[in-house]
Amino acid sequence: MGIFSLGSSVMPIGLDIGTDHVRAAQLKPSGAGLSLVGYGLVNMPMGSVVEGEIVDVDAVSSAIRELWRHSSVHGKDVIIGVSNQKVVVRLIDLPFMERDELEGAIQYQAQDYIPIPVEDAILDFHIIGDYMTPADEHMMEVLLVAAQRDMIESAVQAVEGAGLRLAQIDLTSFAIVRAALGAGTAILPGEEEEAGEATGVIHISSGLTNIAVVERGVPRFTRVSSIAGGQFSQAIANVLNLTFDEAEELKIRAGLPDIETGTQPLGPEGDLGTQQLQVAQDALEREVNKFIAEVRRSLDYYLTQATQIRTIRKIYMTGSGAQLSNMAAYLEKGLQAEVVLTDGVSHVTVAPGAQQAAMADRMGAAPAVGLAMGGAT
């Protein structure tokens, strides 16, 4: 028996199934907060997960089994996250009703708001609050989540195929918000956000970028985009005729050109390596500009819907793909907001047994850690 005894795990393990990696995070209550007692990641075979959807259930099950063998998590109960084009999240206004009444009614109410036939969807909702209209009608604001049933079923099969039990399914974007801002964060106006302001959270991984807007700690808007780290690498591969793996390596080495000085012109001594680096930086810059335009469209859409909110002043950025050098500066300029690079473990303490694995992957840890945080509430 080791020095660090886990005892029985009361909280389910956060399991984040991604394009490049599958990750697991295990939390334990500790004092007033949460302690990360187990963490790990293993590679996902290429093509098994595409844009957040499991396409090869058996390959994913094997990867999860491998993760359980090679990480410090112990237990069988897991919470998984979903995030892809087959999940829609809508903020809707409904006449006020009690929670149990809404549970019965949501199926009939939902179809007007979602593009998926209700009979093919799994529905969930979060009541955000209620209010009175000027005409004295009692209304409520509800965040409606609808996920395509077949997509959820593949995820369930992958988990069960790995010999685990599915305790809960959550939205990956909610998990990311939790990990980036802290669980149950109720931001008071004037504290972090002034009146009329909201906060953005952007998570960049390989196949997907998650964009969320949070008001006073409550997520009110989420969207996924397929412009993410993989697409950045692919752009470099295309322009330099490299393999994807070569392009990945070059991307990480090159980063974005300095936003003030741009790509440095080649001196007379410019060799092939330097030339490649410059071409890579330029390709990356074009791709990142597309990325910024996409994020801006999402945020603008949100701002046109949210009548009380005029600006998104602060954006938390996380995810492995957010580690491109100079990325924050590009986003600050393109989105006219303060961009704060944040990791996935800033709101938990990291126990010695998880230290090495978690710290090496702290930029990529937000979904798994945030999923596990959701199991605490």
Ligand X SMILES: Nc1ncnc2c1ncn2[C@@H]1O[C@H](COP(=O)(O)OP(=O)(O)OP(=O)(O)O)[C@@H](O)[C@H]1O
Which residues contact Mg ion by CB under 5 A?
Answer: 18, 205
* Cβ count near 232 (within 10 Å): 28
Using CB under 6 A, which residues numbered 218 to 237 contact ligand X?
Answer: 228-230, 233
- DSSP-derived pairing of the beta strands 33-43 and 21-30: antiparallel
Using CB under 6 A, which residues numbered 18 to 77 contact ligand X?
Answer: 18-21, 49, 52
Q: Indicate whether 217 belongs to the interface with ligand X (CB under 6 A).
A: no
Cβ closer to ligand X: 49 or 155?
49
Min. distance of Cβ 20 from ligand X in angstroms?
3
Instruction: Choose from ligand X, Mg ion, none: what does 53 bind? Cβ within 5-8 Å by kind.
Output: none
Cβ closer to ligand X: 82 or 228?
228
Cβ closer to ligand X: 220 or 251?
251
Min. distance of Cβ 271 from ligand X in angstroms?
23
Give Cα separations from 282 to 253, 276, 293, 367 (angstroms).
Answer: 13, 10, 17, 30
Q: Indicate whether 287 belongs to the interface with ligand X (CB under 6 A).
A: no
Residue 160 CA to residue 54 CA, distance in Å, equals 14
Cβ closer to ligand X: 321 or 375?
321
* Cβ count near 172 (within 10 Å): 29
Chain position carrying tokens 């990142």 = 288
Q: Indicate whether 344 belongs to the interface with ligand X (CB under 6 A).
A: no
Using CB under 6 A, which residues numbered 160 to 199 contact ligand X?
Answer: none
- C-alpha torsion angle, residues 325, 326, 331, 334 (rounded to 10): -140
Q: Indicate whether 81 belongs to the interface with ligand X (CB under 6 A).
A: no
- From 205, 222, 225, 342, residue interacting with ligand X (rule: CB under 6 A): 205
How many residues touch ligand X under the rule CB under 6 A: the total is: 23
- The secondary structure of 172-185 as a DSSP string is HHHHHHHHHH-TT-
Q: Indicate whether 345 belongs to the interface with ligand X (CB under 6 A).
A: no
Min. distance of Cβ 205 from Mg ion in angstroms?
4
- C-alpha torsion angle, residues 111, 116, 121, 124 (rounded to 10): -60
Chain position carrying tokens 């602060």 = 314
Q: Indicate whether 370 belongs to the interface with ligand X (CB under 6 A).
A: no
Radius of gyration of the chain (CA): 21
Chain position carrying tokens 């886990």 = 6
For CA atoms 182, 328, 84, 249, give the dihedral sign: negative
Cβ closer to ligand X: 139 or 259?
259
Q: Which stretch binds ligand X (CB under 6 A): 86-94, 139-147, 309-317, 320-328?
A: 320-328
Instruction: Choose from Mg ion, ligand X, none: what does 207 bind? Cβ within 5-8 Å by kind.
Output: ligand X
SS3 331: helix
Q: Indicate whether 257 belongs to the interface with ligand X (CB under 6 A).
A: no
Q: Which stretch binds ligand X (CB under 6 A): 116-124, 179-187, 211-219, 318-326?
A: 318-326
Q: Indicate whether 14 belongs to the interface with ligand X (CB under 6 A).
A: no
SS3 42: strand
Cβ pair 310, 334 in contact under 8 A: no
Cβ closer to ligand X: 49 or 143?
49
Min. distance of Cβ 18 from Mg ion in angstroms?
3
Residue 236 CA to residue 253 CA, distance in Å, equals 12
- The secondary structure of 289-328 as a DSSP string is HHHHHHHHHHHHHHHHH-TT--EEEEEEEESGGGGSTTHH
Q: Indicate whether 355 belongs to the interface with ligand X (CB under 6 A).
A: no
Binding site for ligand X (CB under 6 A): 18-21, 49, 52, 205-208, 228-230, 233, 248, 251-252, 319-321, 323-324, 364
